[in-house]
């Protein structure tokens, strides 16, 4: 599966932004898909994931984004979205989407859990 991330940009603190991860080549609902982010000089950080349809499409979030970000999937568009509200300066990073068709026990919050990656999209939050 090929993943294309898009929708990043610059927004003021407190604002909202939605990034998209569109798949080609395969049906994305068969994959668990996640968003990670990486700020300069920092490790890649888990943001959110949405399980494959066979796993009831359950979602999980990193502690730093709970209550502010929402992950969802539009099967008709073969796209996973990350809606980001109440953005903070510290949300500034390159956002990457990853996907895997493997069933992995546990929360699937490690980058190593995912086999396919998009190219990343920059999100910049100004204070």
Say yes or no to pLDDT of 25 above 90: no
Confidence band for 9, pLDDT divided at 50, 70 and 90:
very high
Residue bearing tokens 């080609």: 24
What pLDDT does 88 receive? 98
Over residues 40-79, the pLDDT tens digits come to 999 999 999 999 888 888 999 999 999 999 999 999 999 9
Task: Tell me the mean pLDDT in the region 17-46.
Answer: 96
CB neighbour burial string for 70-97, b if at least 16 within 10 angstroms, e if fewer: bbebeeeebbbbbebeebeeebbbbbbb
Q: How distant, in Å, are the alpha carbons of 16, 21, 26, 34, 107 from that of 51?
A: 24, 14, 16, 8, 10
- Judge whether residue 23 has pLDDT over 90: yes
């Amino acid at each position: 599966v090929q993943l294309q991330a898009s929708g990043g940009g610059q927004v003021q603190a407190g604002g909202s932004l939605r990034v998209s991860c569109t798949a080609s080549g395969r049906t994305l609902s068969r994959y668990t898909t996640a968003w990670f982010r990486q700020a300069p000089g920092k490790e890649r950080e888990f943001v959110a994931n949405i399980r494959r349809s066979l796993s009831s499409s359950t979602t999980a979030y990193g502690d730093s984004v709970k209550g502010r970000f929402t992950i969802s999937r539009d099967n008709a568009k073969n796209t996973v979205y990350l809606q980001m509200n109440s953005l903070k300066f510290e949300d500034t990073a390159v956002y990457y989407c990853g996907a895997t068709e493997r069933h992995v026990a546990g929360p699937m919050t490690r980058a190593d859990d995912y086999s396919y990656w998009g190219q990343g999209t920059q999100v910049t939050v100004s204070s």
